Structures are given as C-alpha cells and as structure tokens.
Structure 1
Amino acid sequence: MSKLKLGPIDDDKPVKITVELPASVHRDLLAYAKAHAAATGLSQALPVERLISPMLERFMASDRGFARNRRPSG
C-alpha cells in the first residue's frame, strides 16, 4: 500500500461531526476565507464551515497515494 498523507484513522461513519481546531488554525481559516473572497470576487468571506469540506475534498483529490489506492485493480 502506498504511503498516504494521513496515517491510520478509526473506521467510523459519522453523519455529522464537530471539530475542535486550534486557535491558530481557525485564524488561518478566517484569513483564507478573506483571501478566497477577494480572489473570487465575493463581497463577503464565506464562513469557515463552508470552506472545510471543499478543502478536505481538494486535499484528498491531490493525494497521489490515495488516488492510486482508489483505482480499480485489474
């Protein structure tokens, strides 16, 4: 198995999650939201809650080890 950017994670299937972030990560997300708004022409920054899912999706899409493991074998 290829090395992924994330290590082992317990197999859970949550429908809704609550995440506790360090204050520094929250500040960075707020700054990112402002930069994102400026770059995309939004009049207001999106709430950080709206950024997290696309960021995780993008992270997983760019993880080559993950992509290799998702390819059907055969």
Structure 2
Amino acid sequence: MKLAKLPDRTPVKMNVVLAPNLTKRLREYADFYAETYGSREEVADLIPFMLEAFLDSDADFRKGSKKRHESTGSRLNPLL
C-alpha cells in the first residue's frame, strides 16, 4: 500500500500561561491576520497554526528530529 498509516489526529488540549506583553502581541497578530485575509479568527484558533509554522521553519529542529527518528526507526514526517 502506498499510503502510510494515518497519524493520530486526536486533538490534545493544553493550558498555558502567557505574559501580558505576549498576549497583547498575539491579539495584534490576530488583528493583522484579519486585515490581511478579511476574516477574523480567535487567537486560540491561530496559535496551533503559528506553532506548527514555527516548528516547520526551524531547520535545526527538523534536522535534529530527523536524526533522532532515524536512529529509533520511527518516522516523524515521511516528507523530510
């Protein structure tokens, strides 16, 4: 079968405490998102995508993750 087994897609809820300045910046980012795309999204809805984009753009993290998973035989992302 060419299609790999689908990963677990069960959402995990996490609670975090943010500094007031970061909260302000996240709200400003949500405002900027609304100006850019013409639709308002809640900060809490944007954060998972922001974190994923950050992790995907971190080349050192990707390289380290790939090396760790190759040594254990697991595959984090088959496209890496």
TM-score, structure 1 as length reference: 0.68
Identify the structure with bigger relative contact order (alpha carbons < 8 Å, sequence gap 6+): 1
Structure with higher helix content: 2
Listed one character per residue, the Cα deviations across residues 6-59 of structure 1 (whole Å, up to 9, x for unaligned) are xxxxxxxxx3210110111111111110110110121xx211101110010000
- Give 1 or 2 for the bigger CA radius of gyration: 2
Give the CA RMSD over aligned residues.
1.7
Q: Which of the numbers 47, 52, 59 marks the counterpart of 1:57? A: 52
Number of aligned residues = 58
Q: What letter corresponds to residue 17 of structure 2 in structure 1? A: E
The separation in 2 between residues aligned to 1:19 and 1:70, in whole angstroms, is 24
Between the aligned residues of both structures, percent identity stands at 33
The separation in 2 between residues aligned to 1:56 and 1:21, in whole angstroms, is 14
Pair 1:32 & 2:12 matched: no
Which 4+ stretches in 1 moved above 4 angstroms? none
- Give 1:1-74 correspondences, 5 Å limit: 15-42=12-39, 45-71=40-66, 73=70
TM-score, structure 2 as length reference: 0.64
In structure 2, runs of 5+ residues without a counterpart are: 1-11, 71-80
In structure 1, runs of 5+ residues without a counterpart are: 1-14
